[in-house]
Amino acid sequence: MISRRRFLGAAGAAPSVFAADRKLEITSVKAVPFRLLGTGRFGTSKFESDHDPARSRWFGPFSQLAGAILVQIRTKQGITGYGMGGGGGAAVYVIENHMKDLLLGANPLNVELLWEQIFASSSFYGRKGIAIQALSGIDLALWDIAGKRAGVPCWQLLGGQVRDKVRAYFTGGNLEAGLKLGFTAFKLPMPHGPADGGDPRKKIVDMLTAARKTIGSENLLMIDVLCRWDVPFTLEMAERLQDVRLHFIEEPILPDDLSGYEKLCREVKGTRIASGEHEYTHYGFDILLRHQAAHFLQPDLTWSGGLTTGRRVATMAAAKSVPVLPHRGGSAFGMQLVISHPNCPMAESFGTGEPGNELMALCTAPFANGYYSAPQGPGMGVEFPDALLKKHAPSLV
């Protein structure tokens, strides 16, 4: 066992500091769908016509938390790591039929080496999307093993806490529930846009004026557009909403419209633009930074490449004075980065005040009075009891 003194002397370094520990060996890699929320919250697969706007809003079973997966990596020495990824059954197939080959027999403490090898070997069909969502779960499971081997939380591997708690923002439509929980920052999903017909502008202004009245003048208010708008509509609505004082508009347009995000960041007035929830790896975020295409970056550690990607992005963004607000940063996985990096000033809610299930509750970081704090257990600080696995993921027991 590596001594705490020796480990803390290398704080801030990657787990490659354990490379001399050649006894660890991966003997099992499994992945299963790990549905935290239902697909129905993202629309329906029943459409009225070829032109029905709902066709672009049906995200299917492989996106968001409806497509979560749980990766389990076991070692010969009895240490088991867990990591959450995305991509549903498609990502599980990628892990079982390709990525697992690069893990069996390897030393799990070579986290960054394995990340680079898996990324390179899957890049001809991967680079973004499902392959990286699969890699994310693997990476988080490897970090979990590294923390458990050292007997410390993963945030200690990153250099320790820069704060003892972090301000949380509540994502959801029930603002009153968020206020009762102690939140002082709120993000509303935006259901209205140009494709709706009629006069969506008035609906948006009325909705956000009422929201501002509900939460009060002192609290932060943001919106998540889910890529429903276009550039002219976003600039117009930012102007109309200046009295509402939006902290940011999240993903107003599709993530691949780089020139559109550049224009928005140059010209938007009265608010700022957040993006990156659907970007992948530090390579993708480097492009956003170089093109000044976001005022806030929002990597999701369970989709964008794991903790290895997250810490790279946070450091890159800090050099450009761009804050990082990890998507669903209130999870036990996201909090490892948020609590240890000075460039992560807020954490988005995860499981707190929303209709999740017992799996989601298990993966939520400690929360009290509008703030998240770091999980204190070794690794990711999440343990999955056999009884729960037998119920939700029996193949992992």
Q: What are the DSSP calls for 266-285, one per residue? A: HH--SS-EEE-TT--HHHHH
Give which of 239, 179, 240 is closest to 211, Cα–Cα: 179
Give the bridge partners for 362, in sequence order. Answer: none
Are 76 and 22 in contact, with CB atoms under 8 Å apart?
Answer: no
CA distance 381 to 81: 11
Q: How far is CA 369 from the centre of its chain?
A: 22
> Measuring CA to CA, how many Å separate 356 from each of 65, 187, 269, 329?
10, 18, 36, 16
Q: Which is it for strands 371-372 and 367-368: parallel, antiparallel or unpaired?
A: antiparallel
Nearest to 214 by CA among 239, 183, 189, 241: 183
Residue 369 near residue 129, CB atoms below 8 Å: no
* Nearest Cα to Cα of residue 62 among 82, 34, 83: 34
Active site residue 327: yes
User: For the sheet containing 69-75, what is the strand order?
Assistant: 26-33, 69-75, 80-85
* Active-site entry in 192, 282, 295, 327: 327
* Amino acid identity for residue 353 in this structure: G
Taking a C-beta distance cutoff of 8 angstroms, is the pair 222, 249 a contact?
yes
Q: Catalytic positions, please?
A: 327
